[in-house]
Structure formats: C-alpha cells, structure tokens
Amino acid sequence: MRLPLSLSSNHLFFLSPKFKPPFSITSSILPKMADSGNSSLIWFRKGLRIHDNPALEHAANGSDFVYPVFVIDPHYMEPDPDAFSPGSSRAGVNRIKFLLESLVDLDCNLKKIGSRLLVFKGEPGDVLTHCLKQWNIKKLCFEYDTDPYYQDLSARVEKYASQEGIEVFSPVSHTLFDPRAVIAKNGGKPPLTYQSFLKVAGQPTWASSPVSTGPSSIPPPGDIGDLQISNVPTMEELGYLDVGQHEFSPFKGGEFEALKRLKQSLDDKAWVAKFEKPKGNPSSFLKPATTVLSPYLKFGCISSRYFYQCIQEVYKSVKQHTSPPVSLLGQIPWNEDSELLAAWRDGRTGFINGVGCTILHGIVLHASLPVFIHWEKGRDVFERLLIDSDWSINNGNWLWLSCSSFFYEYHRIYSPISFGKKHDPNGDFIRHFLPVLKDMPKQYIYEPWTAPKSLQVKAKCIIGKDYPSPVVSHDSASKECKRKLAEAYALNRQSNGSVSEDDLGKLRRKLEEDQQTQKPAAKKQKQKLITD
C-alpha cells in the first residue's frame, strides 16, 4: 500500500520503494517539432489527477508525444442569464469554480512531470475529432464515464477514432466496480437494494493490488499546428463578472487538496473505525461530520480505489469498525406545484432546509422539503447546485429518498423543525447561512413565525417581510404525502408490480380530486400557522 508521506504546496510525495521525484519544466511553451513518432491523446473529463490514472499511464506508455486535453464545454460552463441562480444551464457557480480550481491543479501537476494541460473551448465531440485529425493521433485514452451525456460524447468520438484506425483505451477507474459488469452478473438487471448490490458485486478484483502513484514523467505534447490552446480560464474570463464571494464554497478543488483532506481524515483512525451514518452532526459546518471528499471523488481529483484501499488499511489497524451501508465505505403521482417547487429551490419555504448548501450531509435531505415535489424536479435542482453532483448518485439518492425505488419506508419523513432542534438546538447553522435570522431567540429559530411580533421587531426579522411565512403546514403536508405513497404502494402490490398507464391515470385523477377537496382546509391551516 502506497500512502502519502508528506504534502506540500509544490509536490505530492508517496511512500513507495520505486518513488522518483517528479522533474519540473520552467516554461509552459510547447515544443514545435515534427510529429514523426507515436502520438497519444489523453482526454480529461473527470479523473482530474495524476495518481491511479490508467488512461494517463496508457497514453504515456510507448508514446513519443502525449497531448493532455480538456475542453471547456459551453453546455456546462457558459453563463445562463435565465437560470434561477448564478451559473450555466446545468451547473451552479460553485461547481464551475471547483472544476476550474481542479484544472489549475492538474495543469500544475502535469508541468511537474514534463507536460501541461491543453485547454480548448467548444463542443467537445467536434474539438476532439479535429485534434485527432490534426495531430495524427495513434492512441486515444479517456476514463469511462457513466453519465449519459458523456456516454453519447464517448460513442461519437470513439466511432470516429475506430474509422480512422486509432486505438481507443477507456478504462473503468472512476468507480470501484464496472457498473456494466455488475448488471451482467445480476442477469441483465441492476440490483434494487444495497445488500443485493454488495452480494452481486463482491470484492473488487484489484482490492489487494497497490494503486499506481502515477508516472514520474510523461512525453511532452508535440506540434499543435494551427489549433488555438489556452490556459485554464478564470471565472471572470468565462463571463461570471458579478458573482460575489459569498456565493462561493470554502472548499477548493484539485488533487492536492483532495489528498490533504484524505490524510487529515484518515489520521484519526478511531473516527474512521466508528463512522456511522446517519449519526454525526449534520449541522456542523466549521468542522463537517464527514470527510467532505465527495466533490473530489466526483471530479476524480482523488481515486475512489485509492480512497477504498486507504480505509482498508485503517480497518486492519483497529479492533472493530462499522460496516456498509452505514460505514465510511457505504453510503408516484407527485405534486406538480411549480410555485412550491420554486419556493423550496430558492429557500423561501419559511422552513430551514439545506438546499442552499453546496455539499450536504445525506440526512439533511430527509429533513428538507422534497417530500412534496416530483423527485425528478428535486433531482434537477441538486444537479445544478451541488458541487459534488454526480449523475448516477444524484438519481439514485432521489429515487431512494422519495421511496420511488430501492427504499420503501415512505413513512420515514423527518421534520425540519424537530430535526434541527435535536442536532443544533442553538441554530448555529441557521445563523451562519441565514444571517437574517441571526438575532432570533433560539426557542423560535426553527419556527420564527411563532415568535411574538415584539421579538420579531427586536430581532430585525419580520416574518412575511424579511423572511417568508411557511408555504405549508409540515404536519398536514407530510401526512398527505404518506397517504399518496400508501395508495401508490397498494396499487403496486395489487398488480404485482405491473402497473398500467390506465391504472396510474385513475390513481392520479383520484388523488387530484382528493387534493381539490382538501385545499380549503389546507389553506385555512396555513393561515392559522401564520396568525397564531
């Protein structure tokens, strides 16, 4: 096992018998030389690291020139003035900033081993095919990606490469297992519970083999021809000119930060051994109750395989430790009310929730207000706002938490009021992220609408003016949600899982009629909440 020995701002040192210090280059100017030898292209998308990067190592092996490429995709990174928060049409500014920081770090680390990152802007498929043609590439390497968007891109580029006789190497190194292999072992269907997944997947085949620390040097890029490359752009250069610093997350992207955070987490072996979700204070933000490695794993700044092996090393050194799914290793006809969705998305429900946070403790999702909306709509909000948003994990978590799949205990709905009082009675989390409530007495911090008007005036927070009134009664809304889910589950049992569109249509009409009947009572109860 090769673990980090020390970390500095300039180097990443690993404990390895064959370790050789990386050499550095003093200039980022690319050589202008004829590409008479073998040229390889390493296409970075995720996997933004040097260690345990099979695609990078394969590109360097036997090549005279290696072209490390990243494409700034306007689809993900160009500002969208019509979006509900600063960012592109698909990503908020926090994730974009984290990605740029990770690219700067990757470029720095590539320079230490004799190369640099070649940054382009445009539609990735078009850019890649042009690069393959212009540079006479013999070998194309990129990490396998489960995201449907990148799957389509991969297929297009791979098809062109195959037609041109270019070798394509696309290893699975972002995830611990090859999802295609797991599905194949399960008879062509994905496992629908975590325990069945563990049983099918088994132990990783590479679990006892040390992961690579990465090459100590790679061949430089060759002649770039007439292609225009650039350095990693800044947020301002991408067009994000009016975004205040308060919009940004305190977590900085990059391989260096990832390895440093991993080392800090694993140094406390007792904490690793006892880690158990959902235990741990989800309201802790100055010292989070988790490793906060999820965004680094999402962008591949740290290898999931390296992370796994490091935890295994800790487990070997302690007497007892927790097990999946709670350990550190494990982890319907809906309401279509667009106004309610927007209120939840923008933090205007009157309740305290975690939607505005950039990285969420998993249990905070339970105590938020997604129970009232279509799971796909909630998923889309998280896809945009979370730094660590991953297509597979985001969809899986929302299917789980909405009890649409994998999980059936739909009655388990946490109250954002009692949940907060239990874990953070003083409301420190709220006071930090919602300064408008910072002077509210703690007995009213989770239900500020119940505070006497005189206290609201004293706290400089008038409910309905400075902070929203509740959009629903949580008690009645959660009961209504559970009732709908119960009827949907009953229909599913009655039809042995083969629910027809006609069945769903009848259920939807029935629930809509019930909702219309109950609206006056719900409105009256909400008004009572505000005036009490």
Q: What is the H or E stretch that residue 43 is in?
A: strand 39-43
Angle between helices 255-266 and 93-112 (to 10 degrees): 100
Domains for the chain: give ranges and CATH numbers.
39-174 (3.40.50.620), 338-515 (1.10.579.10)
Which of 80-89, 105-114, 398-407 bottoms out in mean pLDDT, i.e. has the lowest? 398-407
pLDDT at res. 421: 84
**Between 185 and 373, whose confidence is greater?**
185
Q: Is the pLDDT of residue 356 over 70?
A: no
pLDDT tops 80 at residue 357: no
Across the chain, mean pLDDT equals: 79
DSSP 423-492: H-TT-HHHHHH-GGGTTS-GGGTT-GGGS-HHHHHHTT--BTTTBPPPSS-HHHHHHHHHHHHHHHHHHH
Sign of CA dihedral 292, 51, 73, 248: positive
Look up the pTM and report it: 0.72
pLDDT score at 389: 82
Burial 131-168 (b: 16+ CB within 10 A, else e): bbeebbbbbbbbbbbbeeebeebbeebbebbeeeebee
Q: How confident is the model at residue 484 (pLDDT cuts 50, 70, 90)?
A: confident
- Per-residue confidence (pLDDT) for residue 137, from 0 to 100: 96
pLDDT at 3: 39
Is the pLDDT higher at 11 or at 477? 477
Beta bridge partners of 6: 13
pLDDT, average across residues 328-339: 60
Q: How far apart are CA 20 and CA 113, in angstroms?
A: 11
Which residues are paired to 14 by β-bridges? 4
Was 175 annotated as part of a binding site? no
* Location of structure tokens 């305190």: 250
Q: What mean pLDDT comes out for the span 163-181?
A: 94
Q: Is 290 annotated as a binding residue?
A: yes
Residue 223 assigned as binding residue: no
Where residue 27 falls among pLDDT bands split at 50, 70, 90? very low
Per-residue pLDDT at 116? 96
Which pLDDT score is estimated for 358?
Answer: 46
* Average pLDDT for 390-419: 75
Q: What is the pLDDT of residues 114-136, one digit of tens each?
A: 999 999 999 999 999 999 999 99
Q: Is 293 annotated as a binding residue?
A: yes
| β-bridge mates for residue 39, sequence order | 65
Task: Dump pLDDT digits (tens) for 254-306.
Answer: 999 999 999 988 888 886 777 666 566 655 655 666 778 889 999 999 999 99
Per-residue pLDDT at 141 exceeds 90: yes
Is 390 labelled as part of a ligand binding site?
yes
Q: Does residue 346 or residue 443 have the better pLDDT?
A: 443
DSSP-based three-state secondary structure for 150: helix
CA nearest neighbour of 170 among 153, 148, 145, 149: 145
pLDDT single digits (tens) 299-314? 999 999 999 888 888 8
Distance between start and end Cα atoms, the chain = 62
Opening angle at CA 134, ends 131 and 139, nearest 5: 60
Distance from chain centroid for Cα 497: 31
Residues 6+ apart with CB under 8 A from 110: 50, 68, 116, 117, 218
* 26 is an annotated ligand-binding site residue: no
